[in-house]
Amino acid sequence: MASTASTAPGALDTDDQKSRRDFLIVATGAVGAVGAGLAVWPLVDSMNPAADVLALSSTEVNIAPIQLGQAITVTWRGKPVFIRHRGPEEIKAARATDPTSLIDPEKDEVRAKKPEWLIMVGVCTHLGCIPLGQKTGEPKGEFGGWFCPCHGSHYDTSGRIRKGPAPKNLEIPPYAFVNDTTVKIG
Answer yes or no: 151 catalytic: yes
* Pick from 118, 129, 122: nearest CA to 152: 129
Written as one string, the DSSP assignment of the chain is: --------TT---HHHHHHHHHHHHHHHHHHHHHHHHHHHHHHHHTTSPPHHHHHHS-EEEE-TTPPTT-EEEEEETTEEEEEEE--HHHHHHHHHS-GGGSSS---HHHH-SBTTEEEEE---TTT-PPPB-SSTTS--TTTEEEE-TTT--EEETTS-EEESS--SPPPPPPEEEEETTEEEE-
Report the C-alpha gap between 92 and 85 in whole angstroms.
14
Catalytic residue among 85, 126, 151, 154: 151
Do residues 151 and 126 lie in contact, with contact meaning Cβ atoms separated by under 8 Å? yes
Which residues are identified as catalytic?
Answer: 151
